[in-house]
Structure 1
Amino acid sequence: MRDRKLELKIFIIIISLYILIVIWGILFANRLETLFYDPPLTPEEWCQEHPCLTLNIFGIIVTLAVPTSTFFVYLLSVETAIVGIFIIIRSNENKSQLWWGIALILWGLGTLFAGTSYQAFSYELKCANRTFCIWTTWFEIMYLISSVGSINAMVIAQKYSCLPEKYHHIANIYAIGNFSLYSIITLIGAYLPIRFLISFELMILFLAPNILIFLILNSWRYVRHKKRMDRNLMVIWCSLIIIIGLYFLYYSLGITEFFWQFGFWFSANDILHIGLIIWMVSIYFTVNTLIED
């Protein structure tokens, strides 16, 4: 009963934050339009630096950006949400699986927002009918907050499967606090606006400790108990760290720009999204078959 009341409170907090985010976006999203690329980027320059495909949809001209990257990110979004839904449907009374499902649905939702603003409609949202392209949009704010919410839902899931009950309250406080603090910082950053407070880098700073804690916890449990669940989760966290590391390596080396000189587009985001598409398959089989309270 105590856990049910706590879960209800967590659901209320999540829903309340999303309502606040939507209202905040309606009131203040226009403030993001004061943030431009540095150096400034014109719409013409945007389509020189990225593949752009002009479509005529029922008489409406739409410019679709990075079509191949759009395919990968939307595929990841749909896959992740479907995996989350299947896990919830099959969870029965398994609270760990329930929260894994919630985490993956939030992840899929965040990926949908990201794909819309970073890839598919990035030109339309950031550049169309403007002198200079803006740096970010409210879709990206929703993506950042959804992603942090997803990882903190995994904290709740890990609590049920990997921690003694006496530590559950600490895990709850940490997850709620981490998510709430990040959401508040991001909303303030979007209002002022301050570039770093709404950056991918700050999001990683909030997520990295969680992932490292997961890896340490499951490694320690595997050494002690030799359970397949912990072994597979160790592999999952190591794989995620490697995927994110490959993204930053590819990005920092400027490989995207090198290939684009020859008319071939394969970006750091593609590395990330293809890696995560494969990663989600391992998530499904591990969570669906091995995770237990």
Structure 2
Amino acid sequence: MEGGLIVLAAALLLFLSPEVQGTAHLSFSNNTQVNITRDGCGVSKLCVETPNNCDPSGNSSCLFASAVSSVPVPPYGVDLSVELSGESAGYIAVGLTANASEGTSMLVICAQNSSDNGTFFFRTMQRNNTDNMLTPTETRVKEIRGMVNGNMIKCEFTVPNLNASNIRSSEATTFSVLLGNGSFDGSVLGAFNLLFGSKPLDLIKPDSNVPPTAAPTTTAPISNTTIMPSNTTMPSNTTMPSNTTMPSNTTMPSNTTMPSNTTMPNNSGALQPHAVLLLLSVLTLSVLLRV
């Protein structure tokens, strides 16, 4: 009887401990190779990182995550394949949430277990976006593989059947992506330090966080019309090009060839009607004075 009570008490403690979580929902891959690069970002996979545009294959301070989504199959959702890479003495994590300032986030943690020679450690948690409290969850994850090299942690995994019921109350594939880290001593996961939060991104569109490219500017063609400045004296034997606009006060000499499409303004060398009348009046007056 006493032995049975001890077993029951141990079972209750195991159930009530917030840091204890079963692993039946986790499936690890036999392939332990992990190779994470920026190849395909914005084309075949959605990428987020901090610092901006950092390369996980060559920058140890780069906290990077990528996601490749399968085609949605209602009501089962999508299979989301994730890569996560970063540097931490404890853990790195990627999260999905509808609103980073309220509600909850699904958080996936890749860590090194300092109490077990820095071996790879994997867990799924739920983060309260208001008070940052972490609660163990049994989100199903498969094809998990990870590696730890010093403080560099890399992992790859797939979350199957990711849909609205896992995260929020309405079916969607658009979420804000969170990146961060925290401490881990082998038994207790420390608070999640949020280092990056994206705008809402559609997980099935690899280019949903790629800024649009501005349209190229065009230059208007140059007109072939020649404009003559005012007070211009034209020399003899001058040939005028087509589409020439003649300003006022332009003196036209003899032997000047005027092409088609030439605009002649007022005050040019040609006689205007009122000038002809004035000339006739002067001639008439001269004749009368001689008589």
Instruction: Quickly name the TM-score band, shorter chain normalised.
Output: under 0.3
CA radius of gyration, larger in: 2
Q: Which has the higher strand share?
A: 2
More helix by share: 1
Higher relative contact order (CA 8 A, sep 6+): 1
Q: How does the TM-score come out when normalised to structure 1?
A: 0.23
TM-score by length of 2: 0.23
